[in-house]
Chains A and B, each alone.
Chain A
């Protein structure tokens, strides 16, 4: 608001007039006739008294100054004298992961970025407006704000470890008159529009980080697992790095690596000695400025071999596919000896079904009628898989597109079963039941379909075995909002602390912003998620396109540390104190 605008001047004039009128309306002192004022006059002559008229004027001036200061404060004046001409400034802060890098003064690059942004706000005119946005788009709808509000918005912003940083599209919508400043360390490849001032908070620092951490079964021995660790030395010089992989049931594995600056070292470690569960890889080096990539997590699956009993009249595709599954030991069992056979973890029945529900989970291909299976309604002719459930562990990561079937059973799905795949007429082709020992029924045999020729067969078999033996593979993700293929899940970290989640589109979205191993606990299953930075572009904190941080050009400190209206209120308060003091000293009337 301009101080010298006509309405403001009118208001001030009215206030001044009101004060003068009030003074003129002030009742005159009471007149009292006394015997003699001789002694009073003697006293008054001897005292140094301010002339009454002058006292009246001082009093009036003080009252008018107080009223005018308060009236001015109410109008929220923002004259140019309080910090230059008002302007519209767009402040975009890069809050990608590398901004969490420590600098030589112990602060993060992010704190420097916030300070620079605050400096710009504080140095601006009181009437300036600021739009604060970030490259991680944590501010849903940026808008121009007053300086105080902009400072609060800046305080609320924080570094977001994951996600793809982008320059927010705030410039086009808000006109060309706005000055745009981008505060960044220049590491993240963010395309910046033309005309935007770039303010660097980059400062070179040492960093050694894990860029890959994975646990795999040894190809020739499914009971053994190896961990693959890749370490990047993003420092300018060589580093001695201590790599440690720790898990339950065994002493940590420690390796000392000498890695030249900018080089990568990788290690493959046998982690079979650890018990099934979380594995943590960590690197330690001197003067490491970026902590987020110093640890990585993985889940070590159980080494137990799954014994699969196959009852079949002969299906080479099925037998071979089962044998190729890791940790799987397949035994061909004749149907007549099925009941006598023990030590089987999963049964696979090909065109066969026992009379009673077996004691362990079972996968059935085109089974004949049985009491414990859904009723049959005859045969289907040539058909194809038209739809399948994507959220079920059995069909996770599985594509059944182009699966054609020559002959299949027409199954009537029961209430205890879940249909996982149907043909175009919505007749079930794959069903699953989780009540009692789990079982999966496929309405057709492999020989009656082209499924053996599809890449989905080993995935399907692996999913079935994992679902039945309760050993799902851990998901992998960077720090971000992660979509979990379960509904109604509670997500906890390794310490059992809950993580914020929300349900959307039949999945659970969890805010997994810190590296760690998380477990989503749903009603009938658990999903593990290993969240690691594991990104060479993040670990390379010195890969900036910008020079080291520099002063903002043309940035002058604001001459007034407080806003004008607050200053005016303070002046009014001081004048009130002065008026009180002068009144008590009888300097004013």
Chain B
């Protein structure tokens, strides 16, 4: 039993135990797992026949076919493999805002998904990123690794700028098995999302995007005259907040949300808006299932 620590309580972990991650395509796992893979071998699910050739496992010869056709025919089975899960948590300074906090929300979501993946014997890679700095927990497998994963998540402190593309490029600069990339971020990246997302498309990872949004970002409550200082880069913007300007901001913010979602939908990625005021259980047990990421 994993130590839930301060992130998730035990009752919630129990509820997560019935869930597992969903992959739409066969996986490329190296080890035995619970997901369909492209390899055929000693699985449980029959896929095809082929003529026997020397060296094949004779246990898979279809003897009834041999009696009928006097030829050795081999039965092929779909091999079940584990799923490489790459769970990216945005640890930039912009995540350290909002009530409830965006980073806290992101961390809990990551913990929940990580726990679900570990239960399914998937190989979980936990990565926090800010600027070009990447802090990663090497691949873990099995429920027994949950405490380490949680400790890693608890140890992350937000800081630096959002740099999605540089973080992904750095992480995937090493050979990584194609798998499921889970991105949890507010996506307030000065360089935009396209470079990072394009990299994931090139690497042909299946991707799920969890967009963390705080209510203060959607409906800012600011004085009429204010100087807004960006927490990441320190750039100050002087505002005379008029209703028209506020409306323009709302429209731009919604457009930003819409652009990210549209990108994900275009390439068949799962997209979920994680509003920090929404309870974690609702996000995990209902919304993530609705998006087809969990079942």
Contact = CB atoms under 8 A, between A and B. Distances in A.
A159 B94 CA distance: 90
Given A38-B190, A41-B235, A30 B223 contact: yes
Contact of A36 (B188, B238, B242, B245): B188
Interface string A578-589: 000000001001
A167 B126 CA distance: 113
Contacts of A33: 228-231
B253 A34 contact: no
Given A35-B217, A37-B237, A46-B248, A586 B242 contact: yes
B102 A47 contact: no
* Of listed A37, A46, A52, residue having the most chain B CB within 10 A: A37
Contact of A30 (B188, B227, B253): B227
B97 interface: yes
B229 A586 contact: no
B225 interface: yes
Given A33-B231, A34-B97, A36-B188, A41 B226 contact: no
A541 to B, nearest CB: 73
16 contacts: A28-B227, A30-B223, A30-B227, A31-B227, A31-B229, A32-B226, A32-B228, A34-B230, A37-B229, A39-B252, A40-B249, A43-B245, A46-B248, A47-B248, A586-B242, A589-B225
B261 interface: no
B214 A35 contact: yes
Given A29-B225, A32-B226, A39-B249, 8 more contacts: A30-B227, A32-B229, A33-B230, A34-B97, A34-B229, A46-B252, A47-B245, A52-B238
A44 interface: yes
Given A30-B223, A43-B245, A47-B248, A35 B228 contact: no
A220 interface: no
B236 interface: yes
A32 B236 CA distance: 9
Given A35-B97, A38-B190, A52-B238, A43 B252 contact: yes
Interface of A: 28-44, 46-47, 52, 586, 589
Nearest to A584: B242
B174 to A, nearest CB: 30
Contact of B226 (A30, A47, A52, A589): A30
Given A40-B249, A41-B237, A46-B248, A35 B229 contact: no
Contacts of B249: 39-40, 43
A47 B229 CA distance: 19
A29 B227 contact: yes
Nearest to B230: A37
B80 interface: no
Contacts of A39: 188, 217, 249, 252-253, 256
B240 interface: yes
A43 to B, nearest CB: 5
A37 B98 contact: no
B188 A38 contact: yes
Give 10 nearest A-B pairs by CB, closest first: A35-B97, A36-B188, A29-B225, A35-B94, A37-B230, A31-B227, A36-B94, A33-B229, A586-B240, A37-B237
A35 B238 contact: no
B232 interface: yes
Interface in B218-271: 220, 222-223, 225-232, 235-240, 242, 245, 248-249, 252-253, 256
Nearest to B249: A43
> Chain B: interface secondary structure?
mixed
B79 interface: no
Contacts of B220: 34
B190 A34 contact: no
A32 B225 contact: no
Given A29-B238, A32-B226, A35-B188, A43 B248 contact: yes
B186 interface: yes
A25 to B, nearest CB: 15
A589 B253 CA distance: 26
Nearest to A34: B228
Contact of B252 (A29, A31, A42, A52): A42
> Chain A: interface secondary structure?
mixed
Contacts of B240: 586, 589
Contact of B228 (A37, A47, A589): A37
B230 A29 contact: no
A586 B245 CA distance: 10
Interface string B143-172: 000000000000000000010000000000
Contacts of B102: 35
* Of listed A36, A39, A41, A42, residue having the most chain B CB within 10 A: A36
A507 B252 CA distance: 97
Contacts of B235: 37, 41
Interface in B193-228: 214, 216-217, 220, 222-223, 225-228
Nearest to B188: A36
Contacts of A28: 227
A32 B230 CA distance: 9
A191 B251 CA distance: 88
A218 to B, nearest CB: 101
A42 B254 CA distance: 13
B164 to A, nearest CB: 13
B223 A38 contact: no
Contact of B230 (A36, A43, A52): A36
Interface string B93-116: 111111000100000000000000
Nearest to B225: A29
A34 B94 CA distance: 8
A39 B252 CA distance: 7
A43 B239 CA distance: 11
Contacts of A44: 237, 239
B124 to A, nearest CB: 28
Nearest to A31: B227
A52 B225 CA distance: 12
A453 B228 CA distance: 121
A30 B226 CA distance: 5
A35 B227 contact: no
B30 to A, nearest CB: 39
Contact of A32 (B95, B222, B245): B222
A44 B249 CA distance: 9
A334 to B, nearest CB: 121
Contacts of A52: 238
Contacts of B217: 35, 39
A20 to B, nearest CB: 20
Contacts of B228: 32-34, 37, 40
A36 B228 CA distance: 9
Nearest to A42: B252
Nearest to B95: A35
A31 B214 CA distance: 20
Interface in B41-96: 93-96
A32 B188 contact: no
* Of listed A28, A33, A39, A44, residue having the most chain B CB within 10 A: A39
Contacts of A35: 93-98, 102, 186, 188, 214, 216-217, 231-232
A589 to B, nearest CB: 7
